[in-house]
Amino acid sequence: MIRLTRSYPFSASHRLHAASLSNDVNADLYGKCNNPYGHGHNYVMEVTVAGDVQPRTGRVVDLGKLDQLVRSLVVAPLDHRNLNEDVADFANVVPTTENLVSVIQTRLKNRWPPDFPKLSRIRIFETRKNIFEVQVGA
């Protein structure tokens, strides 16, 4: 079994603010990430799939098809967007990168083609120093 990881950059903005909490608690909890007008990042998302090499092609997955899937489900709706204002998944969810990983996981799993190798891991570099990942499958 081979794991193939493919990297997708996108740029977005967000503000960390929980509607259920007071302004003071939000400020204390999120610090400068709670600044009212938001800020942004060059996120880098890695999608890892795991599967056997197909003898006919020598490949685990057709990269063109993987790109098409990930770009339509994740990159197009998030890139150059404000996560709080533009992305319905965050209507009632604080757009921390932990929650961003979960949102992306749901988006991909719901539409993952049955003939694709397994979705194995999603990882997001918020900056070079902060990395978030979820192990999805094998």
| Number of residues this chain uses to bind a second copy (CB under 8 A) | 61
Write the DSSP symbol of residue 16.
-
- Pick out residues in 26-45 that bind a second copy (CB under 8 A): 29, 31-33, 35, 37-42
8 A C-beta contact, residue 50 and residue 61: no
To the query of whether residue 133 is one of the catalytic residues in this protein, the response is no
Q: Min. distance of Cβ 15 from a second copy in angstroms?
A: 9
**Hey, what's the torsion of the CAs at 40, 46, 70, 94, to 10 degrees?**
-40
Among residues 14, 17, 41, 126, the one annotated as catalytic is: 126
To the query of whether residue 46 is one of the catalytic residues in this protein, the response is no
| Helix (H) / strand (E) containing 4 | strand 2-14
User: Which CB contacts under 8 angstroms, 24+ apart, belong to 84-89?
Assistant: 84/14, 84/15, 84/17, 84/38
Among residues 39, 80, 85, 133, the one annotated as catalytic is: 80
Q: Min. distance of Cβ 110 from a second copy in angstroms?
A: 19
8 A C-beta contact, residue 112 and residue 43: no
Per-residue contact string for residues 45-84; x = within reach of a second copy by CB under 8 A: -x------x--xxxxx-xxx--------------xxxx-x
Q: Is 88 in the site for a second copy (CB under 8 A)?
A: no
**3-class DSSP state for residue 104?**
helix
Tokens (6 digits) for 102: 């979960």
Residues that bind a second copy (CB under 8 A): 1-7, 9, 11-14, 16, 18, 20-21, 29, 31-33, 35, 37-42, 46, 53, 56-60, 62-64, 79-82, 84-86, 93-96, 98-99, 101-102, 127-135
Catalytic residue IDs: 33, 80, 126
